[in-house]
Amino acid sequence: MRYSPLFDPATGFGGNVAANTYSSLTDNDGLAHPLALPAYEAGGCIGDGPFKGAAVHVGPNVRYTDHCTVRNFLITEDLRPIFTQANFNNILSQTNYDNLWNSMDGFPFKTAPALHDSGHGFMGGDMASYYTSTNDPVFYLHHAGVDRIWWQWQAANLNTRLNQIQGKTSPYPPYGSITPNFQLPFQPFAPNVVGMDIRNEPYCYTY
């Protein structure tokens, strides 16, 4: 993956880090999520491409600190099968939402990695933390890709699958329950959003 055109310094989003260019804060800010602070360890500033030298203002965790965008590519044999066509085919072959979700989401809900969290984990650095993943522009491509897979799964049996959803609203108590009428909170930036069909307002897009 690290050799993908996505990470080309001239036509893509730039590649891995420049060594010894970032020193993580080591104090504990009291957040409970176990992946938040270690995500920065051994990372560094993006070493080339259009986002080399780009400054961000949040992180590690929920701190407000000015720093470079941090990456730390991590490709291991444990992650490699997750990014194969065979795994994508397996995800799309699931027959109900619960099985789809279980095949796409791993940490922190489960103990094994899956497609969604492995995309974050491969990039490392800012992408590997809940609180700073949007610091890396690759975040938006990754989530568009996850969203596209979900839409492909829905479109295969649209009448049955369009409004299928369940699970928790949060990995932390009180968990809450997701239903098709759940409001995605966007206040104070925009009205809250309800709805599962990406073709309708306020989404108005398709793949």
pLDDT in tens, the chain (207 residues): 677 899 999 999 999 887 778 776 655 566 655 444 444 455 789 989 999 989 999 887 778 889 899 888 876 667 888 999 999 999 999 999 999 999 999 887 788 889 999 998 888 888 888 888 999 999 999 999 999 999 999 999 999 999 999 888 887 788 889 998 998 888 999 999 988 899 998 899 999
CA angle at 137 for the pair 10 and 187, rounded to the nearest 5°: 155
- Pairing mode of beta strands 67-68, 55-56: antiparallel
Residues 8 and 96: their CA atoms lie apart, in Å, by 38
Whole-model pTM? 0.88
* Segments of the chain assigned to CATH 1.10.1280.10: 5-161
| Residue 20: per-residue pLDDT | 75
Joined together, the tokens standing for residue 1 give: 């993956």
| Residue 27: per-residue pLDDT | 58
Class of domain 5-161: mainly alpha
